[in-house]
């Protein structure tokens, strides 16, 4: 005999391999999911959520505890941890979990370390870990691979593919899955034969993933385009009432702006009620993709500025055109005009804002004319 054993490895080393293999797969998927936050401390938190429930469950089962009781206790502990995290942040666990998908798909990226954004993905990771732990002894051994794949796909969707742009983690998942299937296989084929088959399969799989990664593709799938962010009713003062005070004090400093010299827009007043012009009262969180309900003009340009409030006051945030990103927490935007609003006090606030605007060349402005054709019938006034 060659000395290579048939079937799965036995003894302490075999039990360790049976446990290390699913933990590694779930960990790889969880670390991809954690990249949506861009903070290594949160990556450690996701690693704990991926490994600890599985290890606790396997340890409880080895002591003779029933599968039902052990699973119930670990799931209860996971849900209780999620409840304490949301309660400490003044949130409702039920509402947080119910709105977890639209909340994640409308929050700016990278995600801030907030309980309402972390609880759902962490609880998903813990539940996947528990389910994989229940099926560690399965003869098919597909559950650990499926668990790692679920977390990997979740991370890829939340980051539009930026979590693993080169496919390195996908290759690792493939290689670890094949190694586990080969070494833990309980069939009668010699290990040498299984290894000789797994080697070429691994090479082909890695080569296929590498070839796919080098193919020219269009824009990555962005699930955020499928979700409308929640709207917020806003009540703010009309800045027209301050025009007189600004005109009477022309030397008063209102703002300090650092960056390219471009026009700044404070607020768009697009509604007339017969008495005065007003702005919309329905605002929504600023999208991380900068998408609004407005289309760019024929001469698009953009600028990034640093704005400091000195004597302006109010809740409106000046922006160079349509806001693409803004460094003010919980800022809101009118999707029909691009007007930015801050629900918090703006006195002394310093923030960075990027915006897109139309910058037609001088020759186009000089050649501009009033359109020909009949005046549209607007009806009786």
Query: Per-residue pLDDT averaged across 64-89, rounded?
Result: 89
Name residues whose C-beta falls within 8 Å of residue 189's C-beta, 6 or more positions apart in sequence: 6
What is the predicted pLDDT for the residue at 122? 94
Read off the pLDDT of residues 235-291 as tens digits, 9 standing for 90 and up.
666 777 777 777 788 888 888 899 888 888 888 887 777 777 777 777 877 765 555
User: Helix crossing, 40-62 with 11-34: angle to 10°?
Assistant: 150
Q: Which two structure tokens, joined as six digits, stand for 80?
A: 């209780």
Question: What pTM does this model have?
Answer: 0.65
Which of 30, 37, 83 lies closest to 52, judged by CA?
A: 30
Q: In whole angstroms, what is the distance from residue 285 CA to residue 276 CA?
A: 27
Please report how many Cα atoms fall inside a 13 Å half-sphere around the Cα of residue 46, on the Cβ side: 29
Q: In whole angstroms, what is the distance from residue 24 CA to residue 74 CA?
A: 20
Range with the largest mean pLDDT of 16-25, 32-41, 42-51, 312-321: 42-51
What is the predicted pLDDT for the residue at 32? 94
Query: Per-residue pLDDT averaged across 289-301, rounded?
Result: 67
Residue 168, helix vs strand vs coil? helix
Q: In whole angstroms, what is the distance from residue 55 CA to residue 48 CA?
A: 10
pLDDT for 91 beyond 50: yes
What is the predicted pLDDT for the residue at 378? 45
> Where residue 3 falls among pLDDT bands split at 50, 70, 90?
very low
What percentage of the chain reaches a pLDDT higher than 90? 22
């Amino acid at each position: 005999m060659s000395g290579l054993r048939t079937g799965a490895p036995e003894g302490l080393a075999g039990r360790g391999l049976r446990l290390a293999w699913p933990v590694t797969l779930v960990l790889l998927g969880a670390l991809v999911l954690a990249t949506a936050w861009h903070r290594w401390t949160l990556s450690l938190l996701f690693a704990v959520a991926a490994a600890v429930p599985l290890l606790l469950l396997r340890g409880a089962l080895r002591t003779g505890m029933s599968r039902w009781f052990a699973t119930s206790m670990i799931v209860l502990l996971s849900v209780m941890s999620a409840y304490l995290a949301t309660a400490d942040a003044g949130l409702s666990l039920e509402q947080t979990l119910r709105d977890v998908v639209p909340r994640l798909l409308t929050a700016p990226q990278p995600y801030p370390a907030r309980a309402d954004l972390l609880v759902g993905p962490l609880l998903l990771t813990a539940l996947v870990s528990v389910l994989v732990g229940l099926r560690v002894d399965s003869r098919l051994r597909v559950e650990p691979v499926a668990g790692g794949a679920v977390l990997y796909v979740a991370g890829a969707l939340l980051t539009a593919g930026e979590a693993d742009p080169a496919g390195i983690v996908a290759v690792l998942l493939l290689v670890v899955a094949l190694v586990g299937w080969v070494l833990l296989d309980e069939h009668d084929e010699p290990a040498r034969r299984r290894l000789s088959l797994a080697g070429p399969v691994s090479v082909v799989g890695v080569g296929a993933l590498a070839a796919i990664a080098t193919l020219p593709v269009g824009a990555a799938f962005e699930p955020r385009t499928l979700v409308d962010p929640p709207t917020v009713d806003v009540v703010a003062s009309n800045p027209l009432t301050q025009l007189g005070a600004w005109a009477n004090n022309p030397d008063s400093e209102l703002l300090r702006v650092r960056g390219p010299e471009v026009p700044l827009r404070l607020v768009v007043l697009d509604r007339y009620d017969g008495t005065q012009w007003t702005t919309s009262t329905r605002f929504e969180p600023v999208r991380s993709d900068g998408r609004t309900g407005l289309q760019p003009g024929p001469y698009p340009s953009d600028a990034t500025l640093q704005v400091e409030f000195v004597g302006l006051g109010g809740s409106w945030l000046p922006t160079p055109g349509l806001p693409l990103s803004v460094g003010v927490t919980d800022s809101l935007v009118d999707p029909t005009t691009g007007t930015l609003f801050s629900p918090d006090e703006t006195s002394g606030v310093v923030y960075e804002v990027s915006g897109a605007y139309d910058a037609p060349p001088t020759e186009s402005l000089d050649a501009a004319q009033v359109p020909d054709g009949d005046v549209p019938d607007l009806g009786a006034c």
